[in-house]
């Protein structure tokens, strides 16, 4: 039988995970926006949880670079600047193209390939309806599935962190960009290279895709004078 101490520890962990997941979603969905500052008690009330799991969730998000936690001042959501986005895209270009190369080298199951292909199908369907939010979710799912297929746990962790840091900006500028028709074609070509096991081609195609998307995002922010979001 499990001891009372072990049961209490599991309960505490599950509450912290719940607080972390809910608080992170509020930030990524721009429900709590850049510059917003909330006290620990206010966040606990918002999440309808006690202050202990709320505090631990805040600290985890601080470690991920999404917020800044200051004693007696609670939590402040960090803004993302053009400089931040340039650095994030530079890292994502290298990390994700490496993931594509590794994914093509690995022996992938039919389920993994089908999951990646379904993401492209969902992107096509969303674009036909001009549903950019659905397209963005399918696009994110593609990138995360691609990185998952690399099998490199450290790479997966790093990409998740930088992807999350750029997520708010991507969603806020979603309707300011042209319809991403070429992006869908790029994803389909990367998928084909992975299916063919052509690692160098998968890496090259994905790198070009990421470089173009990053350049477009930076130019958009600069043209609109959006120094930070």
> Which domains occur in the chain, in start order?
4-77 (1.10.10.10), 82-224 (1.20.120.530)
159 pLDDT higher than 60: yes
| CB burial readout 136-164, b (16+ within 10 A) else e | bbbbebbbebbbbbbebeebbeebeebbb
pLDDT digits (tens, 9 = 90+) for 22-38: 999 999 888 999 989 99
DSSP E strand boundaries for the chain: 37-38, 67-70, 74-77
pLDDT digits (tens, 9 = 90+) for 55-100: 999 999 999 999 999 888 899 999 999 999 999 999 999 999 999 9
Three-state secondary structure call for residue 80: coil
CA–CA distance from 215 to each of 84, 90, 137, 228 (Å)?
A: 13, 10, 21, 16
pLDDT band at 11, cuts 50/70/90? low
pLDDT for position 52: 93
CB neighbour list of residue 9: distance below 8 Å, 6 or more residues apart: none
**Percent of the chain beyond pLDDT 90?**
83
């Amino acid at each position: 039988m499990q001891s009372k101490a072990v049961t209490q520890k599991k309960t505490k962990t599950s509450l912290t995970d719940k607080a972390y997941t809910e608080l992170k979603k509020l930030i990524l969905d721009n429900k709590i926006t850049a510059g917003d500052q909330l006290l620990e008690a206010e966040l606990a009330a918002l999440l309808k949880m006690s202050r202990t799991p709320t505090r631990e969730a805040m600290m985890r998000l601080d470690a991920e670079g999404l917020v800044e936690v200051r004693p007696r001042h609670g939590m402040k959501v960090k803004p993302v600047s053009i400089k931040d986005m340039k650095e994030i895209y530079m890292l994502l270009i290298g990390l994700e193209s490496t993931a594509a190369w590794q994914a093509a080298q690995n022996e992938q199951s039919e389920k993994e390939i089908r999951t990646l292909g379904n993401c492209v199908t969902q992107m096509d369907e969303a674009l036909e309806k001009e549903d950019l939010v659905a397209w963005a979710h399918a696009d994110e799912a593609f990138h995360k599935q691609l990185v998952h297929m690399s099998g490199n746990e450290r790479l997966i962790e790093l990409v998740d962190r930088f992807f999350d840091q750029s997520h708010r900006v991507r969603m806020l500028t979603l309707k300011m960009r042209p319809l991403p028709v070429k992006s869908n074609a790029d994803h389909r070509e990367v998928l084909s290279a992975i299916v063919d096991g052509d690692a160098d081609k998968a890496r090259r195609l994905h790198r070009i895709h990421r470089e173009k998307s990053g350049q477009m995002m930076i130019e958009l922010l600069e043209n609109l004078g959006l120094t930070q979001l």
